[in-house]
Amino acid sequence: MRLTAACLTAALFGPVAAAPARAQIEQDAATGIVTCTTTAGNYTRRIITGVGDDGRIGGMVRLVRPDSDSRFPAAAGFIIKEASARHAGVEVALRPGTTDRIVYGAKMPGERSLLELGEAAANLWFPLAISIANGTMTIQIGQHVTRGRVRLNGPLQPIIHCNSGTWEFRLNPGLGLGEVPVNVRPNAPPAHAPDGDGPSPSGPSR
């Protein structure tokens, strides 16, 4: 079933709100838990480090506190993106019109709607994993496995993100947080930081 509710689509894939917002994502050094918090309708993301050759990212995720409005239900997930804005992934969000149900599904490149895979109770930990190999994306949620063909051009970046609310992630062993990803226009030379060490992070962008 393809979920087409406008408010959920806006929450997951809509433009970043222009107003200043509280948005942060950090990993507790003692527990390893990643906490991702934003105000309603704002978006933050970080590259996931430590991903092996199989490109698999995963862990446990739960919604701690919604910070939603009618347009932006609490949402989060894992995505794998090109240097440009194109990406695929697995997304979770508070089901519109509810306060205690999470809907999760697959995001395919170029699609603004979400291919719904199921739902779960909010505030509970549930397992989530994604990988892309040989043009096939594999999503595993509990014992449920979904595969689909995707066309993404490398190199690919594994990313954790949230948009509205407070989420917690227990990443699989060896995974951590890296820098904020920067979109690069196709065929455009990369922008360099003043020290010449690489792209200059300009903040979250799509």
What are 18-64's pLDDT values in tens digits? 333 478 899 998 998 999 998 877 888 999 999 977 788 999 999 99
Tokens of 58: 């995963």
- Give helix then strand counts, H and E, for the chain: 1, 13
User: What is the pTM (predicted TM-score) of this model?
Assistant: 0.76
Question: Domain ranges in the chain?
Answer: 2-177
Instruction: Grade residue 68 by pLDDT with cuts at 50, 70 and 90.
Output: low
**Which tens digits make up the pLDDT trace of 161-203?**
988 889 999 999 999 999 988 877 655 544 433 333 332 222 2
The pLDDT of residue 160: 94
The pLDDT of residue 129: 92
The pLDDT of residue 99: 83
How far is the CA of 34 from the CAs of 25, 41, 61, 125, 198, in angstroms? 7, 20, 9, 13, 26
Q: What whole-number distance in Å separates Cα of residue 183 and Cα of residue 66?
A: 28
Percentage of residues of the chain with pLDDT beyond 90: 23
CA angle 17, 36, 172 (to 5 degrees): 135
CB atoms closer than 10 angstroms to residue 93: 31
**Is the domain 2-177 a CATH 3.40.50.300 member?**
no
Which residue bears the tokens 């709100």? 17
More confident residue, 37 or 205: 37
Closest CA to 121 of 89, 90, 160, 94: 94
